[in-house]
């Protein structure tokens, strides 16, 4: 009895597979037609997609460790001069996980908009902002996307009108604001500039995409420089503030020391052969004043040299593993891949339409039979 049930199940499965194959064969024209339509659509997209080149760089940030790292002969010389390098503490460092926040910040991207790039057909370099606002034109697919999927946005923008005048409503220079054009450029930059932080291996990859190869390399290089500068400024800001303070105090004491030194020298010249008690007392007073000012001046000179060393020490070092280079091959569009994907998608859609149609017919037949049975 068990063997009979198993045979029936296998027989039913064979019948179902044969029926599926028969249905697919009967609908082969529909499958081929749908596949050809999708293939043509994929070919159209592959041919008219905008070209894109990608330039990238990889670097390893090496932040200074806490405490003084000066050693060897330089540390010995500093100790001989009476400079205590060990007492200087390093400033705070930005962890690499926050680098994407820096890249996506408004000040960073506003600075990046002014990157000069080389564009084909232009006699001289133009900025990134000028290229996308005045020179670059949408492709055929861009126009189709704008007036199909993006049509509601175009209509809403037309109804609202130009809001660029709203950017002039505030005169407070302490508040950061962006214009409509800058907002558009930030959206473009966010899509074309990417940064990847590998916490495990400790490296940072930065890449930029542009319609032209040299422009992509120039944008990636500028983004790398701005990122390094932002990290460096943050890291050494405390040391630079301390250096500026010590420099101002040293300049003040230097003038005071010069004045006291000249005053003492003039008094000695005028009273070279005088040995009165009053002259001796005045000389001792001037000498004491000179010693006091000289002590402060000498200590500030030591602190000034120490702080200069500290600024150099706190400056983070970036090891460039892979420098920016002009890409040779396009990163997009990958035409063969696009054509294969759309052809495969067309085949799937065609097969789905055939079986879907068969499924709907079977449901309709069952519904008709049930209706007839109910009427009988």
Q: Do residues 177 and 31 both lie within one domain?
A: no
* Position 358 in a domain: no
Q: Do residues 112 and 45 both lie within one domain?
A: no
State the Cα–Cα distance between residues 227 and 101, nearest whole angstrom. 11
pTM of the full predicted structure?
0.61
Q: Do residues 275 and 339 both lie within one domain?
A: no
* Position 232 in a domain: yes
Residue 369 scores a pLDDT above 70: no
Q: Which domain holds residue 40?
A: 20-49+333-351
Q: Do residues 90 and 152 both lie within one domain?
A: yes
Is residue 24 within 8 Å of 351, Cβ to Cβ? yes
pLDDT value of position 365: 65
- With a pLDDT cut of 70, the percent of the chain lying above it is 74
* Position 360 in a domain: no
State the Cα–Cα distance between residues 185 and 146, nearest whole angstrom. 17
Q: Do residues 44 and 158 both lie within one domain?
A: no
Residue scoring higher pLDDT (14 or 210): 210
- Give me the mean pLDDT over the 82-89 stretch: 44
Residue 235 scores a pLDDT above 90: no
Q: Do residues 25 and 133 both lie within one domain?
A: no
* Position 242 in a domain: yes
Give the pair of three-digit tokens for residue 253. 């004491």
Look at 154-158, 216-220, 370-374 and tell me which has the smallest mean pLDDT: 154-158
Alpha carbon 271 to its chain centroid, in Å, reads 71
* Position 13 in a domain: no
State the Cα–Cα distance between residues 223 and 230, nearest whole angstrom. 10
Q: Do residues 149 and 28 both lie within one domain?
A: no
Is residue 293 within 8 Å of 301, Cβ to Cβ? no
Cα atoms in the 13 Å half-sphere on the side-chain side of 279: 11
Q: Do residues 146 and 285 both lie within one domain?
A: yes
Q: Do residues 179 and 189 both lie within one domain?
A: yes
Residue 44 scores a pLDDT above 50: yes
pLDDT in tens, 336-346: 887 888 888 88
* Position 344 in a domain: yes
State the Cα–Cα distance between residues 286 and 282, nearest whole angstrom. 6
* Preceding peptide of 20 cis, ω within 30°: no
* Position 1 in a domain: no
Count of domains forming the chain: 2
Question: What residues does 195 pair with on adjacent strands?
Answer: 206
Q: Do residues 56 and 116 both lie within one domain?
A: yes
Cα angle 210, 110, 242; round to 5: 125
Question: What residues does 161 pair with on adjacent strands?
Answer: none
Q: Do residues 148 and 253 both lie within one domain?
A: yes
State the Cα–Cα distance between residues 106 and 98, nearest whole angstrom. 15
Q: Is the dihedral of CA 74, 75, 80, 81 positive or negative?
A: positive
Q: Do residues 58 and 102 both lie within one domain?
A: yes
- Give me the mean pLDDT over the 104-121 stretch: 89
- Give me the mean pLDDT over the 215-226 stretch: 92
Question: Mean pLDDT: which of 55-59, 263-267, 318-322, 355-359 is highest?
Answer: 55-59
pLDDT in tens, 88-107: 444 456 788 888 898 989 99
pLDDT value of position 157: 58
Element (H or E) spanning 283, and its range? helix 277-314
* Position 368 in a domain: no
Residue 357 phi, psi dihedral angles, 5° rounding:
-65, -40
Residue 127 phi, psi dihedral angles, 5° rounding:
-80, 160
Residue scoring higher pLDDT (207 or 10): 207
């Amino acid at each position: 009895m068990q063997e009979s049930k198993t045979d029936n199940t296998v027989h039913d499965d064979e019948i179902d597979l044969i029926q599926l194959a028969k249905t697919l064969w009967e609908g082969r024209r529909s499958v081929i037609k749908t596949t050809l339509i999708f293939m043509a659509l994929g070919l159209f997209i592959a041919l008219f997609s905008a070209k894109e080149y990608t330039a990238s760089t990889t670097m390893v940030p090496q932040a200074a460790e806490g405490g003084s790292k000066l050693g060897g002969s330089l540390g010995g010389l500093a100790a001989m001069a009476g400079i205590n390098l060990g007492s200087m503490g390093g400033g705070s460092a930005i962890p690499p996980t926050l680098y994407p926040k820096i890249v996506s910040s408004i000040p960073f991207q506003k600075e990046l908009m002014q990157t000069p790039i080389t564009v084909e057909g232009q006699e001289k370099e133009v900025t990134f902002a000028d290229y996308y606002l005045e020179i670059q034109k949408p492709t055929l697919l861009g126009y189709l996307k704008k007036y199909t999927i993006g049509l509601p946005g175009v209509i809403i923008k037309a109804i609202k009108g130009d809001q660029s005048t709203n950017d002039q409503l505030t005169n407070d220079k302490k508040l950061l604001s962006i214009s409509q054009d800058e907002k558009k450029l930030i959206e473009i930059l966010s899509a074309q500039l990417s940064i990847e932080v590998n916490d495990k291996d400790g490296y940072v990859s930065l890449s930029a995409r542009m319609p032209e190869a040299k422009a992509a390399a120039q944008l990636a290089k500028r983004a790398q420089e701005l990122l390094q500068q932002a990290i460096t400024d943050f890291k050494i800001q405390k040391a630079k503030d301390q250096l500026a303070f010590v420099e101002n105090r040293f300049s003040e004491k230097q003038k005071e020391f010069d004045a006291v030194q000249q005053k003492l020298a003039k008094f000695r010249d005028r009273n070279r052969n005088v040995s009165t008690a009053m002259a001796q007392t005045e000389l001792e007073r001037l000498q004491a004043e000179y010693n006091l000012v000289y002590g402060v001046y000498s200590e500030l000179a030591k602190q000034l040299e120490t702080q200069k060393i500290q600024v150099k020490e706190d400056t983070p070092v970036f090891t460039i593993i892979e420098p920016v280079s002009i890409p040779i091959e396009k990163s997009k569009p990958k035409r063969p891949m696009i054509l294969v994907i759309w052809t495969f998608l067309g085949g799937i859609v065609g097969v789905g339409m055939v079986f879907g149609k068969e499924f709907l017919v079977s449901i309709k037949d069952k519904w008709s039979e049930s209706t007839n049975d109910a009427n009988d």
